[in-house]
Amino acid sequence: MNSAVIQPSPKEYTIVWAIVCSILLHGLLALIIPNMKLDDVKEPEVLEISLAKKAEAQPPAEPEPVQPPPEVIQPQIQPKLKPEPKPVIKEKPSPIVQQTQPVVETPTITAPPEVIAVKPAPERIVPTQTVATPEPKEPPPPSQAEIDNATGRYGNALWNAISKHKKYPKIAQMRGWQGETIIELELDGTGKIKSKKITQSSGYEVLDKQALEMVEKALPFPTPPEALRNSNFTITVPVPFKLE
Protein backbone atom coordinates (compact mmCIF):
# COMPACT_ATOMS: atom_id res chain seq x y z
CA MET A 1 0.00 0.00 0.00
CA ASN A 2 1.25 3.48 -0.82
CA SER A 3 1.44 5.67 2.22
CA ALA A 4 0.62 9.35 1.70
CA VAL A 5 3.29 11.91 2.83
CA ILE A 6 1.81 14.71 4.84
CA GLN A 7 3.76 17.95 4.37
CA PRO A 8 3.66 20.54 7.16
CA SER A 9 1.93 23.78 6.55
CA PRO A 10 3.80 27.16 6.42
CA LYS A 11 2.51 28.08 9.89
CA GLU A 12 4.04 24.90 11.35
CA TYR A 13 7.38 25.74 9.75
CA THR A 14 7.29 29.19 11.38
CA ILE A 15 6.59 27.80 14.83
CA VAL A 16 9.40 25.27 14.54
CA TRP A 17 11.92 27.90 13.53
CA ALA A 18 10.84 30.17 16.38
CA ILE A 19 11.42 27.39 18.90
CA VAL A 20 14.85 26.62 17.45
CA CYS A 21 15.92 30.27 17.56
CA SER A 22 14.75 30.59 21.19
CA ILE A 23 16.80 27.52 22.29
CA LEU A 24 19.93 28.85 20.59
CA LEU A 25 19.51 32.29 22.15
CA HIS A 26 19.17 30.83 25.67
CA GLY A 27 22.22 28.64 25.18
CA LEU A 28 24.28 31.65 24.00
CA LEU A 29 23.27 33.69 27.03
CA ALA A 30 24.21 30.79 29.35
CA LEU A 31 27.74 30.82 27.93
CA ILE A 32 28.27 34.59 28.03
CA ILE A 33 26.83 35.59 31.43
CA PRO A 34 29.29 33.57 33.70
CA ASN A 35 32.31 35.18 32.01
CA MET A 36 31.07 38.76 32.49
CA LYS A 37 32.92 40.83 35.23
CA LEU A 38 30.90 43.38 37.08
CA ASP A 39 32.67 46.56 38.14
CA ASP A 40 33.01 47.26 41.84
CA VAL A 41 30.38 49.52 43.21
CA LYS A 42 31.96 52.89 43.95
CA GLU A 43 31.32 54.39 47.28
CA PRO A 44 29.83 57.85 47.30
CA GLU A 45 32.25 60.74 48.08
CA VAL A 46 31.91 62.48 51.41
CA LEU A 47 31.13 66.17 51.04
CA GLU A 48 32.93 68.47 53.50
CA ILE A 49 31.04 71.57 54.41
CA SER A 50 33.05 74.39 56.15
CA LEU A 51 31.35 77.48 57.48
CA ALA A 52 33.01 80.75 56.50
CA LYS A 53 33.82 83.28 59.18
CA LYS A 54 31.47 86.12 59.51
CA ALA A 55 32.76 89.25 57.97
CA GLU A 56 33.93 91.89 60.37
CA ALA A 57 31.33 94.41 61.23
CA GLN A 58 31.91 97.66 59.35
CA PRO A 59 30.92 101.00 60.79
CA PRO A 60 27.67 102.32 59.39
CA ALA A 61 28.08 104.74 56.50
CA GLU A 62 27.28 108.36 57.13
CA PRO A 63 23.98 109.34 55.67
CA GLU A 64 24.22 111.66 52.63
CA PRO A 65 22.87 115.13 53.18
CA VAL A 66 19.40 115.51 51.84
CA GLN A 67 19.28 118.30 49.27
CA PRO A 68 16.18 120.45 49.34
CA PRO A 69 13.93 120.11 46.34
CA PRO A 70 14.45 122.75 43.65
CA GLU A 71 12.27 125.73 43.97
CA VAL A 72 9.45 125.91 41.54
CA ILE A 73 9.59 129.20 39.69
CA GLN A 74 6.12 130.36 39.05
CA PRO A 75 5.62 132.57 36.02
CA GLN A 76 5.08 136.13 36.89
CA ILE A 77 1.78 137.44 35.66
CA GLN A 78 2.08 141.07 34.63
CA PRO A 79 -0.90 143.07 35.73
CA LYS A 80 -3.02 144.52 33.00
CA LEU A 81 -2.43 148.20 32.54
CA LYS A 82 -5.52 150.26 32.52
CA PRO A 83 -5.72 152.52 29.46
CA GLU A 84 -4.95 156.07 30.30
CA PRO A 85 -7.95 158.34 29.92
CA LYS A 86 -7.79 160.59 26.88
CA PRO A 87 -7.52 164.23 27.73
CA VAL A 88 -10.71 166.17 27.15
CA ILE A 89 -10.09 169.26 25.08
CA LYS A 90 -12.41 172.02 26.00
CA GLU A 91 -13.47 174.18 23.15
CA LYS A 92 -12.73 177.82 23.66
CA PRO A 93 -15.67 180.12 23.12
CA SER A 94 -15.40 181.99 19.85
CA PRO A 95 -14.90 185.69 20.34
CA ILE A 96 -17.83 187.93 19.65
CA VAL A 97 -17.10 190.14 16.66
CA GLN A 98 -18.92 193.37 16.49
CA GLN A 99 -20.10 194.25 13.00
CA THR A 100 -18.83 197.60 11.87
CA GLN A 101 -19.83 199.48 8.78
CA PRO A 102 -17.36 198.98 5.88
CA VAL A 103 -15.28 201.89 4.88
CA VAL A 104 -15.85 202.79 1.24
CA GLU A 105 -12.64 203.81 -0.42
CA THR A 106 -12.86 206.27 -3.26
CA PRO A 107 -11.03 204.91 -6.29
CA THR A 108 -8.26 207.02 -7.66
CA ILE A 109 -8.40 207.48 -11.42
CA THR A 110 -5.02 207.40 -13.11
CA ALA A 111 -4.48 208.51 -16.68
CA PRO A 112 -3.52 205.71 -19.13
CA PRO A 113 0.01 205.81 -20.47
CA GLU A 114 0.51 207.37 -23.85
CA VAL A 115 0.81 204.83 -26.66
CA ILE A 116 3.23 205.77 -29.43
CA ALA A 117 2.26 204.19 -32.74
CA VAL A 118 5.19 203.00 -34.82
CA LYS A 119 4.78 202.04 -38.44
CA PRO A 120 5.94 198.50 -39.13
CA ALA A 121 8.96 198.20 -41.33
CA PRO A 122 8.21 196.78 -44.75
CA GLU A 123 9.27 193.17 -45.23
CA ARG A 124 12.22 192.61 -47.46
CA ILE A 125 11.42 190.41 -50.40
CA VAL A 126 14.41 188.28 -51.30
CA PRO A 127 14.32 187.45 -54.99
CA THR A 128 14.57 183.74 -55.65
CA GLN A 129 17.23 182.75 -58.07
CA THR A 130 16.01 180.41 -60.76
CA VAL A 131 18.60 177.94 -61.94
CA ALA A 132 18.21 177.25 -65.58
CA THR A 133 18.44 173.53 -66.31
CA PRO A 134 20.38 172.83 -69.43
CA GLU A 135 18.27 171.31 -72.14
CA PRO A 136 19.45 167.91 -73.30
CA LYS A 137 21.35 168.19 -76.49
CA GLU A 138 20.04 166.15 -79.35
CA PRO A 139 22.52 163.72 -80.79
CA PRO A 140 23.86 164.82 -84.15
CA PRO A 141 22.14 163.25 -87.15
CA PRO A 142 23.96 160.35 -88.79
CA SER A 143 26.11 161.15 -91.75
CA GLN A 144 25.29 159.96 -95.25
CA ALA A 145 28.09 157.43 -95.10
CA GLU A 146 26.60 155.91 -91.93
CA ILE A 147 23.14 155.82 -93.54
CA ASP A 148 24.49 154.07 -96.68
CA ASN A 149 26.42 151.56 -94.59
CA ALA A 150 23.35 150.81 -92.41
CA THR A 151 21.11 150.50 -95.49
CA GLY A 152 23.44 147.96 -97.07
CA ARG A 153 23.64 145.85 -93.90
CA TYR A 154 19.87 145.99 -93.36
CA GLY A 155 19.21 145.05 -97.04
CA ASN A 156 21.28 141.87 -96.57
CA ALA A 157 19.34 141.07 -93.35
CA LEU A 158 16.02 141.49 -95.21
CA TRP A 159 17.16 139.24 -98.08
CA ASN A 160 18.17 136.51 -95.58
CA ALA A 161 14.69 136.68 -94.01
CA ILE A 162 12.87 136.70 -97.40
CA SER A 163 14.94 133.97 -99.06
CA LYS A 164 13.83 131.45 -96.39
CA HIS A 165 10.36 131.51 -98.01
CA LYS A 166 11.54 131.25 -101.64
CA LYS A 167 9.49 128.85 -103.78
CA TYR A 168 9.90 128.48 -107.54
CA PRO A 169 6.52 128.28 -109.29
CA LYS A 170 5.99 124.92 -111.06
CA ILE A 171 4.66 126.45 -114.25
CA ALA A 172 7.81 128.63 -114.50
CA GLN A 173 10.01 125.56 -114.00
CA MET A 174 8.14 123.63 -116.71
CA ARG A 175 8.45 126.46 -119.21
CA GLY A 176 11.92 127.51 -118.18
CA TRP A 177 11.04 131.04 -117.10
CA GLN A 178 13.79 132.96 -115.30
CA GLY A 179 14.25 136.55 -114.18
CA GLU A 180 14.84 138.96 -111.29
CA THR A 181 12.17 140.99 -109.54
CA ILE A 182 13.27 144.14 -107.68
CA ILE A 183 10.94 145.27 -104.86
CA GLU A 184 11.07 148.69 -103.22
CA LEU A 185 10.01 148.73 -99.54
CA GLU A 186 9.17 151.84 -97.51
CA LEU A 187 9.73 151.15 -93.78
CA ASP A 188 9.50 153.17 -90.56
CA GLY A 189 12.08 153.34 -87.77
CA THR A 190 10.79 150.10 -86.19
CA GLY A 191 10.93 148.01 -89.40
CA LYS A 192 7.18 148.01 -90.20
CA ILE A 193 6.19 148.18 -93.89
CA LYS A 194 4.57 151.42 -94.96
CA SER A 195 4.31 150.42 -98.65
CA LYS A 196 5.80 148.00 -101.19
CA LYS A 197 5.99 148.00 -104.98
CA ILE A 198 7.84 146.34 -107.86
CA THR A 199 10.26 148.75 -109.49
CA GLN A 200 11.61 146.17 -111.97
CA SER A 201 9.65 143.17 -113.21
CA SER A 202 11.15 139.80 -113.99
CA GLY A 203 9.13 139.67 -117.22
CA TYR A 204 6.75 137.07 -115.84
CA GLU A 205 3.74 137.83 -113.71
CA VAL A 206 3.98 134.49 -111.92
CA LEU A 207 7.51 135.26 -110.71
CA ASP A 208 6.55 138.79 -109.59
CA LYS A 209 3.61 137.50 -107.53
CA GLN A 210 5.83 134.88 -105.94
CA ALA A 211 8.33 137.62 -104.92
CA LEU A 212 5.59 139.65 -103.19
CA GLU A 213 4.32 136.54 -101.34
CA MET A 214 7.85 135.88 -100.06
CA VAL A 215 7.94 139.42 -98.59
CA GLU A 216 4.60 138.93 -96.79
CA LYS A 217 5.68 135.59 -95.29
CA ALA A 218 8.94 137.10 -93.94
CA LEU A 219 7.12 139.61 -91.69
CA PRO A 220 7.83 140.94 -89.14
CA PHE A 221 11.23 142.20 -90.24
CA PRO A 222 14.18 142.51 -87.83
CA THR A 223 14.79 145.84 -86.09
CA PRO A 224 16.75 148.24 -88.33
CA PRO A 225 20.13 149.70 -87.28
CA GLU A 226 20.25 152.82 -85.07
CA ALA A 227 21.17 155.09 -88.00
CA LEU A 228 17.84 154.24 -89.70
CA ARG A 229 15.51 154.60 -86.67
CA ASN A 230 14.99 158.39 -86.76
CA SER A 231 12.66 158.52 -89.80
CA ASN A 232 11.12 156.47 -92.57
CA PHE A 233 13.42 155.07 -95.21
CA THR A 234 13.21 153.09 -98.43
CA ILE A 235 15.20 150.04 -99.37
CA THR A 236 15.25 147.87 -102.51
CA VAL A 237 15.51 144.08 -102.35
CA PRO A 238 16.23 142.06 -105.50
CA VAL A 239 14.58 138.60 -105.72
CA PRO A 240 16.25 136.46 -108.42
CA PHE A 241 14.64 133.37 -110.03
CA LYS A 242 17.14 131.09 -111.78
CA LEU A 243 16.89 127.47 -112.82
CA GLU A 244 19.90 125.41 -111.83
Choose among 200, 197, 205: nearest CA to 177: 205
Span 14-23, average pLDDT: 87
Angle at 106 between CA 101 and CA 111, to 5 degrees: 160
Note the pLDDT of residue 139: 72
What are the pLDDT digits (tens) for 44-103?
Answer: 555 555 555 444 445 555 656 556 555 655 555 555 556 565 655 655 555 555 555 555
Q: Domain 144-241 maps to which CATH number in 3.30.1150.10, 3.30.70.270, 3.90.1150.10, 2.40.40.20?
A: 3.30.1150.10
pTM equals 0.43
Q: Which of 58-62, 132-136, 203-207 has the highest mean pLDDT?
A: 203-207
Q: Which of 23-37, 102-116, 146-160 has the highest mean pLDDT?
A: 146-160
242 versus 95: the higher-pLDDT residue is 242
State how beta strands 179-187 and 193-200 pair.
antiparallel
Note the pLDDT of residue 55: 44
Domain ranges of the chain: 144-241
**Is a pLDDT exceeding 50 seen at residue 166?**
yes
**Is a pLDDT exceeding 70 seen at residue 220?**
yes
Note the pLDDT of residue 31: 80
Residue 26 binned pLDDT confidence (cut-offs 50, 70, 90): confident
164 versus 59: the higher-pLDDT residue is 164
Note the pLDDT of residue 164: 93
Span 155-163, average pLDDT: 93
Span 153-160, average pLDDT: 93
42 versus 23: the higher-pLDDT residue is 23
Residue 149 binned pLDDT confidence (cut-offs 50, 70, 90): very high
**Is a pLDDT exceeding 90 seen at residue 162?**
yes
